[in-house]
Chains A and B, each alone.
Chain A
Amino acid sequence: MAKDTKLKAMVDRISELPDELLSHILSFLPLNFAYTTGLISKRWKTLCKLMIDLHFDDKLVKGEEEFQRFGRCVDKVMLSPDMNNQPIRGFHLNCCHPELLLFDYDQWIEAAKLRGVQDLQLQLSVFPFKTAYEMSKWESRTKSMEDKFISVAPNNIFSCRTLVILKLERLCVAGNILSVHLPLLKTLHLKSVYLQNSDNLKKLISKSLVLEDLYVMVGYKERASIPLARVDKGPFHVLFKAVYHNLQFLRVQIGHLFFNPYPLSHFIYFLILFFVL
């Protein structure tokens, strides 16, 4: 009896929790399930719309059909009219299915921008393929290594006035970066990211004026135009000149070969790294 009373009291305390705290719990759930909780009660129906950190991860998604559902879920959360007035803080997209290409992910990013995203993280590791068949299906559509990375539109990502954290991993920036507008950006991580050429990196970094934490590991699409011997100190001078007092953390790796799957090239790459650093 006493236990019952105590439980009842606690249940009341749980339901007295402010919406922010309950939606905080929701942000730790798989995203689609967080939305399922809208069925719990009228109050919970509105809670999931208050979630400000949207983390999409397809690591538990198996097969093409399930990915389709995953993609539609992102579509719904990012693009449906009743969601797009809700401000968000974080948008993370962690994808390893090539079927991502069937979706308009640039539009997801655009929607995140419109909703005032501060923390944008994209990790689009379309590799590794599970079967040789999947690999060959992909091969036939693409020509060179960097084409196997998913491409994102540069002007979408590098021009966002609310962004504080930008982490990109395993993707390719399509074309030249025309304009950079990241007035609040403090953290920039480019990890296995393909850019058009080193000018793009210079432009990006020299215009990010309040950077505090920089991690650069990039390759260039125009690698043929840069001789190996000139895996130069050039970019480093630019980096150090461009990124001044604010910077607290800096890690840089710049090479042209590290996407190449052959071990020897890796070896050369690490030699270059050693030399440069």
Chain B
Amino acid sequence: MAEEVSSQMNSLSISETNPSSSATISLVSGDDIVFKVEPTIAKEMETVQSFIDETDGKITTIPLPNISSHDLPYVIEYCEKSIAGKITKEFEAEFVKKLNNEEVKELFLAANYLNIKKLLDFLSQVIADRIANKSVEYVRRYFGIENDFTPEEEAKLREELAWTFTGVDPDDEDEN
């Protein structure tokens, strides 16, 4: 309940900062929270923009069932910075600091769904940085993947891939 209220406040504050209400686009998250954004933000989201184009701009309320009200503000924030040309190393570092592993994955899915190439590339790099040089077991846990090799198959493959091994970093504490 508290979460819902804070999300609504979030959406309120966003609509307040964008007063030109006639032209705004309403993005509806999977849990039915409405986020009003400038059309320029929608342009950054190819999926949304193509939806608007298809209906000749008549429809300005766009349901995004795959994206939660928790993730959408992050996406909007990134798009706003991107339009303002303010995606700096510092911004990216700050942005990513706020996100735990689950959120990074959720946002990656959202960026893919909305087709925002810059955000997708950025999050790919973030995910890559978080799994780089970790043990195979850690990466399996990170993505929630079952090992479907038999022990014999795995041993054989480990031998084949011996050339790829460098030092393995200690695993981070799992967050989930």
Minimum C-beta distance from A89 to chain B (A): 14
The answer to whether A41 touches B140, judged by C-beta atoms less than 8 angstroms apart, is yes
A26 contact set on B, CB distance < 8 A: 128
Partner of A25, one of B124, B133, B144, B176: B124
Interface centre among A24, A40, A66 (most CB of B within 10 A): A40
Q: How extensive is the interface on chain B, given as a class? A: 20 to 34
**Chain B residue with minimal CB distance to A13?**
B109
A223 at the interface (CB under 8 A from B): no
Report yes or no: A25 in contact with B128, Cβ–Cβ below 8 A. yes
Residues A28 and B144 in contact, CB atoms below 8 Å apart: no
For residue A271, CB closer than 8 A to chain B, the reply is no
Chain B positions 141 through 161: 1 when the CB is less than 8 Å from some CB of chain A, otherwise 0 = 001111111000010011001
Partner of B176, one of A7, A13, A36: A7
CA distance A15 to B145 in the complex (A): 8
Task: Choose from B132, B148, B161 the contact partner of A42 (Cβ within 8 Å).
Answer: B148
Name the distance in Å between B126's Cβ and chain A's nearest Cβ. 9
Q: Which of A69-77, A209-217, A229-237 contacts B (4 or more CB under 8 A)?
A: A69-77
Stretch of B13-21, B44-52, B163-171 on the interface side: B163-171
**In the complex, what distance in Å separates the CA atom of A66 from the CA atom of B125?**
25
Number of interface residues of A (CB under 8 A): 33
Q: What is B's interface to A at a CB cutoff of 8 Å?
A: 102, 105-106, 109, 112, 120-121, 124-125, 127-129, 131-133, 136, 139-140, 143-149, 154, 157-158, 161, 163-166, 176
A10-B106, A25-B128, A29-B131 are known contacts; what are 18 more A-B pairs with Cβ within 8 Å? A8-B144, A11-B143, A13-B109, A14-B109, A14-B143, A24-B124, A25-B124, A28-B127, A28-B128, A36-B165, A37-B139, A38-B161, A39-B149, A41-B140, A41-B147, A42-B149, A66-B166, A69-B163
